[in-house]
Structure 1
Amino acid sequence: MAEEQFDFDELIARRGTRSLKWDIDQDPDVIELWVADMDFRAAPVILEALQKKLDSGVFGYGLPTKAFYEAIVSWYRKRYGVEFSRTSIIPTTGVVPAISSILQGLCLPGDEVIIQTPAYNCFFSSVRNSGLVLSENALKLVNGRWEIDFEDLEERASREKARALLFCNPQNPTGRVWTRDELTRVAEICEKHGIFLISDEIHGELTAEGFRYTPLASVSPWAKDHVITASAASKAFNIAGLQTAYIIAPVAEARNRIDRQININEVCDPNPLGIEALIAAYSDRGAAWLDALNHYLDGNRKVIEEFVRESLPGCFLSPQEGTYLPWIDFSSFGKTSTEIEKELLHGYHVRVNGGAHYGETSPGWIRINIATPRARLREGLRRIALWAEDERKKGCHPLYRRNPLKYRDPVPI
């Protein structure tokens, strides 16, 4: 059989399709480089599975069958060498509902939940909406790389009210792909202090060349038995709208409490189309598409590295180890991320995510989504460069030097 070819350069018109990413406003000229939603067509194997389901003409309640559970178990075994029982899997509708249900099932109001900031914005809301108390273990920039402050983490984990660590592996928004040694130390601290270790691993499939995601549950015997993993095929395969995810909870007592809360919250029934899509994604053909996607994203990572180097001197791009969401420090412009976000949107027609969404530790940072065809990415970056040049002319950024703006002429979006 000939090797499948995938066209990630295809410019798909998403505006007017009831897309959260592209239809959030009425301005047809905005390039959307914000929410973690890719602009690529789903893998052919997924489209074929969905078409087969559509052809049936019936869309009643879905049932996660044996094939659903076996697809997840087989994916982790073949891709990461990790073994776990299908009985440890709890299906649900999304990773965010999963996280909220896990916290509510295992913690009591007033308990402290540790998160590492800057953090995915829904971590804050999941903790607070569950009646729990945030305990922020701020990450540190050490020699240009984000690292865990283990001394502070240990102190927070030792507190009387500490109940859980809500971890992110790989980390959003910094893009860190944690090493096995770092993960092992995290697990050891949680084991030592008897707190739950909950790991959001939805970005695990999205790693840059030279980096490899390590499931947190694989780093030690304790982690294998106690880490509670929340994940999905949705981020890597661009099927988030199909509302299907899963939790891996090896310990029966914790699993039963989580499963009960999943049902209380009414997030226990995955979308029937999502079930078919996950089974297809976690196949050999799905793996081939994912490998091609990561190769294309590596090309986009090189584009944004060049852009920051040539058009944003004085700004710092976090090393791109994982996710498709580069994290850039714009603080040398002397403006808050919220100000920059608004100016780019209203004056230059490009939407990004300001760091304020990810905690008070990120006042000058911007998150950019590069999971889009390269021509569209270059056009978005061209507009950001125009904003930066205008700031230089106003004297807002003395380090900025004029750039020829070689990011191509405007293209259709």
Structure 2
Amino acid sequence: MNWNDCIVRTHTHSVKWSTAPDEIIPMCIADMDFQVAPEIIEAMKKKAEHGIYGYTTFCDRYYRSIIGWWKRRFNMNIDKEWISFSPGIIPGINLLLQILTKPGDQVIVQEPVYYPFYSSIENHHCTIVHNSLVYKNGTYEMDFADLETKASDPKAKVLILCSPHNPLGRAWTEDELAKVADICLRHNVWIISDEMHGDLVYKGKQHHPLFSIHPEIKQRSILCAAPSKTFNVAGLQTSIIMIPNKELREKYNEKLFQYGLMRPNAFGVEATIAAYESSEYWLEELLIYLEENVEYVLNFFKSNIPEIVPIRPEATHLIWLDCSKLGMQGEELFQYFLTEAKIKFDEGYKFGSSGDAFLRMNIACPRERLETAVHRIHETVLRWRTNG
């Protein structure tokens, strides 16, 4: 696999590349600028050449590929019956909140966090409750005492857990997850665990699926996953919603039928099988390349741009940039780099108020593109020093 190949993505209907002028380098939106595994491409070609793309269902091989992946990667046993479908994690979370809450209920999030969680909660007229993460010694920690207080409110019904965490890149430890599970079990708070980035974990760290943490948690939680971040197939819209609780699973599947969401993308099923059955080697190569990109960014910023402090990610292909020394926040910070550096980041403030002085950077791109972007940032900060 040629990870250094700068494939042109402009004029391909890419959300990431088609919404900005040609001179802008998008380091935003969590998809990758790498071609997918050859096995996935071959599966797509075979399906395309068949020439019929009618209504599609799930086959036994699809379920076996998912079950086998989670057993190999995480030593976790999954029952076929747990596995349901969503065209994306956020649509799935919306359906789950529709079942688990009523207007006026409280849903807990650990901000700064993936911002579509907020709109999902507001869609159902629930109150967003912040169990804010603590920024300490260059990393983030959970505030368990605050979580205990928030979860003890009778109106608190759900915690949306981001594991690994987006945008902070934390791969939560078994101890941290056990404390979260214990608190939520004691206060009858459901956990929706978004584990979309669970495969993208760096050396020395490990992703612990929530289901493996506590013997009772499976009956009070939902695990959301997908091949999309791992294998760069988000546009195929095949996400996995695991629901061990039979009553909740039946209600969820009823919602899928109610909204006409029960049929998967014909190509998505084939991509999932090809990814989980045949493309694990591709993921291992990807992780090596991503980790090299991480080290390049961290070392360059430390040596040349001390005004910006990258938070070392333990997982994900994202880096959370602390720009507080620049004295800018919110939209001003985002627009400054868009205008001056011609770099489009994800706006930190969208992830929560504690992200006002931060930007999210996607480093899943060829090294040449990453180096160009980082040097543009450097030149922009040099001008800031002179003018500041």
Superposition TM-score tier, normalisation by shorter sequence: over 0.9
Equivalent pair of 1:217/1:225 in contact (CA under 8 Å) = no
Give the one of 336, 352, 359 matched to 2:345. Answer: 352
Matched residue of 1:38: which SS?
A: coil
Partner of 1:255: 249
Equivalent residue in structure 1 for 2:283, among 290, 305, 311? 290
Question: Post-superposition shift, 1:258?
Answer: 1.6
Verify: 1:304 aligned to 2:290, yes or no. no
Shift of 1:314: 3.6
> 44, 53, 60: which is aligned to 1:66?
60
Could you report, residue by residue, the CA deviation over 1:376-400 in whole angstroms, capped at 9, with x for unpaired residues? 00101111111111110012xxxxx
C-alpha distance in 2 between matches for 1:129 and 1:390: 43
| Aligned position for 2:22 | 28
Q: Once structures 1 and 2 are overlaid, which stretch shifts more, 221-230 or 119-128?
A: 221-230
Is 1:19 aligned to residue 10 of structure 2?
Answer: no
Is 1:266 the counterpart of 2:250? The answer is no
Match of 1:132 in 2: 126
Match of 1:341? 334
User: Which of 371-380 and 342-351 deviates more?
Assistant: 342-351
Aligned-partner SS, 2:336: helix
The CA deviation string for residues 261-291 of structure 1, in whole angstroms up to 9 with x for no partner, is 23333332221101110111111x3111101
Amino acid at match of 2:114: Y
Structure 1: which 4+ aligned runs deviate by more than 6 Å? Answer: none
TM superposition score normalised by structure 2: 0.98
Is the partner of 1:326 in helix, strand or coil?
Answer: strand
Residue 44 of structure 2 aligns with which residue?
50
Task: Give percent identity, aligned residues only.
Answer: 37
8 Å CA contact retained: 2:218, 2:245 = no
Unaligned runs of 5+ in 2: none
Q: State TM-score, norm by structure 1.
A: 0.92
Q: Deviations over 1:2-29 (max 9, x none)?
A: xxxx11111100001111100003x211
TM-aligned CA deviation for residue 316 of structure 1: 2.2
Q: After TM superposition, give the deviation of residue 31 of structure 1 in Å.
A: 0.8
**Aligned counterparts of 2:283 and 2:164: Cα–Cα separation in 1:** 16
Report if aligned partners of 1:101, 1:265 keep a CA contact under 8 Å in 2. Answer: no
Separation in 1, partners of 2:259, 2:230: 26
C-alpha separation in 1, matches of 2:117 and 2:364 = 23
Aligned CA-pair RMSD: 1.1
Matches of 1:216 and 1:83, distance apart in 2: 12
Q: Tell whether 2:323 aligns with 1:319.
A: no
Equivalent residues of 1:175, 1:323 under 8 A apart? yes
Matched, 1:8 2:3: yes
1:245 maps to 2:231:
no
Distance in 1 between residues matched to 2:213 and 2:79, nearest whole Å: 17
Distance between the aligned counterparts of 1:112 and 1:348, measured in 2? 40
> 1:89-108 counterparts in 2 under 5 A?
89-108=83-102
Ranges in structure 1 where 5+ consecutive residues have no aligned partner = 1-5, 396-413
Give the 3 Å change call, closer, same or farther, for CA 331–45 of structure 1 in structure 2: same
What are the Cα deviations for residues 34-72 of structure 1, in whole angstroms up to 9, with x where unaligned? Answer: 000100000111111111101101111111111111111
Give the Å deviation of 1:139.
Answer: 0.1
Partner of 1:174: 168
1:224 & 1:130 partners in 2: Cα distance? 24
Are 1:151 and 2:121 matched, yes or no?
Answer: no
Secondary structure of 1:317's aligned partner: strand
Which residue pairs with 2:359 in the alignment?
366
